[in-house]
Amino acid sequence: MKLQHSLLAGTALVLAGCAAPVPPEPPALPALAPAFRLAPDREPAALDAATWRGFDDPALVALVERARSANHDVRIAAERLRQARAGATAQASRLLPTVALTGSASDQRTGLPTEVKRGSPDTRALRGALDLGWELDFSGAARAAADAAALDALAAGAGVEGAQLLATTEVARQYLTWQGARLRLAQLEALLKAQQDTARLTRSRLDAGQASRFDLARAEGEVAQLAAQLPPLRTLVEVSAHQIAVLLGEAPAALRLDAAARLPSVPALAPGQPAELLQRRPDLRAAEATLRAEAARLRESEADLWPKFFLSAVLDRQDLRLNGLDLAPVRFSNLALAFSAPLFNGGRLRAAVDRQSGRERTATLQYERAVLGALQDVENSLAQLRDERERGAALTAALQSRRDGLRHAQSLHREGQIDLLTLLDAQRGLIAAELALTDHQTQLALNTVQLVRALGGGWITSKA
């Protein structure tokens, strides 16, 4: 009997170990462009850190690091990952037997005569048993369910990284917006002061009969127009600071930003970036894991069409006492192997296969769409950076021309060839050019952050 039990259990172990199908591979990720042809030689975390340090702003780097762990969306995603891992553990437990220890104690006594107790004796019984139950996974259904749950956990892990990417890039975007708004506000206030000086000079010229009321109305109108641009910029400074605080998990009024009065530099994108950088995107890895999970669930639903086998065993020991007579402890065991095969279910199981097959095809299309969307994000970001750099070159040239013009105007004013009003016009033109260049620098930094997000966190900034 012991030999039969051992052979039966050993056969079950071998057959269960053979039922472990390999998850299918997802569709291949297309390459970005011929420039993305080299294999990356750095860890993703190192790439992320190097990219943010490339902005040369310690305050920005510190805010990004805080957002990686303090953001509420990141923390919510971490809790979802915890739940997914617990689900994966629960599904993996189906591959193992369940073992339970049971025990009981009973004491039955009556006041019946001894002759009667011969048919209904006083009984005291002490029992202890070891119960084992196991669904033998010959069809691979339990293995497929465990694979699907593990892949769900992988997708949840990618969700945490995706939340971190969104939080860090959004903090960076709000910080750059805050910095740019502060600088534009200071430049606009300087421009407003210059325009107010022009309006006062125009009024003096009007009083002297050297200017018309039209000139004064135009100068005062420009003052009012510039003054109207200040409140929205002040609002932008406050709102962006409040948004940074919320992204860091703090009350809007609790955060105090202290940064240099300049925009961060923009790290350069070195040529020859690896195509694998795009595969670091958390949304792509989550879509891939979801696709493979749906494929595993399809295998599970197909396996439900086959018979299921169950193994159960009970090892028991009983200490019995009848009418005060102690009997020797009794040992007994029970080993059973059962199966259940579907014969008729009205097409329910086949419909479940068809439904899951549709879900797998949907996940495949969603994965392909995510890949194309990632490619579009990168190409759009690169195009925006290229065009913004061209705009910056033109604005830099215009600023230099304004500076040259102001120097000539100052020289002519000293020589008495132009009046103060013309000189103030040249000064206003220079401040306006500086304001436009600040706007360009802000937009260039924001476009760079968008490229960081499109590439999944960063790129190689140098070959060193």
Percent residues over pLDDT 90 in the chain: 46
Instruction: With beta carbons less than 8 A apart as the criterion, state whether 89 and 107 touch.
Output: no
d(CA 139, CA 309): 9
Residue 343 confidence (pLDDT) above 50: yes
How confident is the model at residue 39, as a pLDDT? 35
Q: Which residues contact 49 (CB under 8 A, 6 or more apart)?
A: 458
Q: Which residue has the higher pLDDT, 214 or 90?
A: 90
How does pLDDT run across 160-172, given as a tens digit for each residue?
999 999 999 999 9
pTM: 0.80
Q: Which residue has the higher pLDDT, 31 or 295?
A: 295
Residue 310 confidence (pLDDT) above 60: yes
How does pLDDT run across 221-248, given as a tens digit for each residue?
888 988 998 999 999 999 999 999 999 9
**pLDDT band for position 46 (50/70/90)?**
low
Question: What are residue 132's phi and psi, to 5 degrees?
Answer: -125, 130
In whole angstroms, how far apart are CA 234 and each of 188, 229, 243, 440?
A: 11, 9, 14, 19
d(CA 383, CA 275): 18
How confident is the model at residue 74, as a pLDDT? 94
How confident is the model at residue 27, as a pLDDT? 46
Residue 366 confidence (pLDDT) above 90: yes
* Residue type at 458 in one-letter notation: G
d(CA 237, CA 253): 13
Domains of the chain are 16-96+140-310+357-454 (1.20.1600.10)
How does pLDDT run across 78-122, given as a tens digit for each residue?
999 999 999 999 999 999 999 999 888 888 777 777 676 666 777
**pLDDT band for position 13 (50/70/90)?**
very low
How confident is the model at residue 18, as a pLDDT? 39
**pLDDT band for position 418 (50/70/90)?**
confident
Residue 363 confidence (pLDDT) above 90: yes
How confident is the model at residue 116, as a pLDDT? 66
How confident is the model at residue 457, as a pLDDT? 84
Q: Which of 73, 295, 58 is nearest to 170 (CA)?
A: 73
Mean pLDDT of 454-462: 76
Q: Which residues of 92-125 are buried (b: 16+ CB within 10 A; e: fewer)?
A: bebbebeeeeeeeeeeeeeeeeeeebeeebbebb
Comparing 29-43, 57-71, 152-166, 434-448, which segment has the lowest mean pLDDT? 29-43
How confident is the model at residue 17, as a pLDDT? 40
Mean pLDDT of 392-416: 90
Mean model confidence pLDDT for the chain: 83
Comparing 193-207, 348-362, 398-412, which segment has the lowest mean pLDDT? 193-207
How confident is the model at residue 98, as a pLDDT? 92
In whole angstroms, how far apart are CA 88 and each of 82, 93, 140, 150, 287?
A: 10, 9, 16, 5, 18
How does pLDDT run across 124-138, given as a tens digit for each residue?
888 888 899 998 998
The three-state DSSP-derived secondary structure of the chain is CHHHHHHHHHHHHHHHHHCCCCCCCCCCCCCCCCCCCCCCCCCHHHHHHHHHHCCCCHHHHHHHHHHHHHCHHHHHHHHHHHHHHHHHHHHHHHHCCEEEEEEEEEEECCCCCHHHHCCCCCEEEEEEEEEEEEEECCCCHHHHHHHHHHHHHHHHHHHHHHHHHHHHHHHHHHHHHHHHHHHHHHHHHHHHHHHHHHHHHHHHHHHCCCCCHHHHHHHHHHHHHHHHHHHHHHHHHHHHHHHHHHHCCCCCCCCCCCCCCCCCCCCCCCCCCCHHHHHHCHHHHHHHHHHHHHHHHHHHHHHCCCCEEEEEEEEEEEEEEECCEECCCEEEEEEEEEEECCCCCCCHHHHHHHHHHHHHHHHHHHHHHHHHHHHHHHHHHHHHHHHHHHHHHHHHHHHHHHHHHHHHHHHHHHCCCCCHHHHHHHHHHHHHHHHHHHHHHHHHHHHHHHHHHHCCCCCCCCCC
How confident is the model at residue 8, as a pLDDT? 38
How does pLDDT run across 19-31, given as a tens digit for each residue?
434 444 444 444 4
d(CA 398, CA 145): 65
Comparing 47-51, 56-60, 401-405, which segment has the lowest mean pLDDT? 47-51
